[in-house]
Amino acid sequence: MRVGVLTGGGDCPGLNAVIRAIVRKAERHYQDSIIGFKDGWSGVLEGDFIPLDVNFMRGSLPRGGTVLGTSRVSPRMYSDGFDKVRSTMESTGIDALIVIGGEGTLSAAASVQEAGAAQVVGVPKTIDNDIALTEQTFGFDTAVSIATSAIDRLHTTAESHDRVMVVEVMGRHVGHIATWAGIAGGATLTLIPEHPFDIQAVAETIMRRHRRGRWASIVVVAEGALPAEGTLEIAEPEVDEFGHKKLGGIGHVVASEIGARTGFDTRVTVLGHIQRGGTPTAFDRVLCSRYGIAAIDAVHAHKWGSMVAYQAGGMVTVRLVDAIAEAKPVSSELYEVARAFFA
């Protein structure tokens, strides 16, 4: 077969490891030829691609980023988008397209499949871990480990100065990174989008802690966390050219409110894209290798419109449309574990 691969949306540690696994099994086991589209859907729309083989991918397993480049361009943005996808599939002789991306990129893949423009298989990528029907997206473990080591470092400086440290981590719709890093890093409080917060209750929790003689606190905030209605006014975030809200800022709001309401010395650290760059953890490298192998196997099983998923320790396929229907929230059981250590 002739198979195309693209990486779309925000980059994520492990993208190259997935591509490498696809290429390895495709070339050595199935005798396929693989091409990689440049910059996500943009490469498909413009017919911009490069051949991929085992030799090209050599050394890419531990490398962050994506050898293919990425973008938030989608065929759904253009009236002739699906026609262009169809015509690239025909002109390149591609039988199937493996789409590696998060919610936006995979939604586009589901539409492309539905329009009959290409036969697609999806792979769930995002440090946010918000794709449903898979227990873990790749990149998440790496992001959690980066956030946890940042929290570990903030503990010692917070204790030296008797400070409140607010740490903002990624997580636009849901708070998986915040919850995991908050538990792993021993946070005083963790604020996530699933549970709107009351800033006065946050301040009082920290004051109670001070009365018990604990003068250093770590508050982890997911970038998408929001105050409970009527408790605090915050500015609407800007939106980029793709309609994507530019988050990052709630940490500063939380820190300045804590400082004002408690009088305690408070600082903020926004981890931002540091969570997305660099080398994937060993766990992510293994998960990516499994995702890549499962994706090329799904292509050969003609599982069009499916997404490979990690469930109960194994790889399965689910329907793309089901996986993108709703963001996967942090389970209440896990958030209760975090909450048991609050204050």
Catalytic residues: 128
DSSP for 9-43 reads SS--TTHHHHHHHHHHHHHHTS--EEEEETTTHHH
Compute the distance between CA of residue 212 and CA of residue 196 in angstroms, rounded to an integer: 26
The distance of closest approach from Cβ of residue 250 to ligand F6P in the complex, given in angstroms and rounded to an integer, is: 11
Report the alpha-carbon distance of residue 273 to residue 244 in Å, rounded: 16
Which residue has its beta carbon closest to ligand F6P?
170
Q: DSSP for 292-306, please give it.
A: HHHHHHHHHTT-TTE
What CA–CA distance (Å, rounded) separates 230 from 191? 17
Interacting residues with ligand F6P (CB under 6 A): 10, 102, 126-128, 170-172, 223, 244, 247, 276
In the complex, least distance from residue 39 CB atom to ligand F6P, rounded to whole angstroms: 14
Could you tell me the strand order of the sheet in which 266-270 lies? 189-191, 217-222, 164-169, 266-270
Q: Which is nearer to ligand F6P, 139 or 259 (CB)?
A: 139
- Provide DSSP, 154-197: HHHHHHHHT-EEEEEE--SS--HHHHHHHHHHT-SEEE-TTS-B
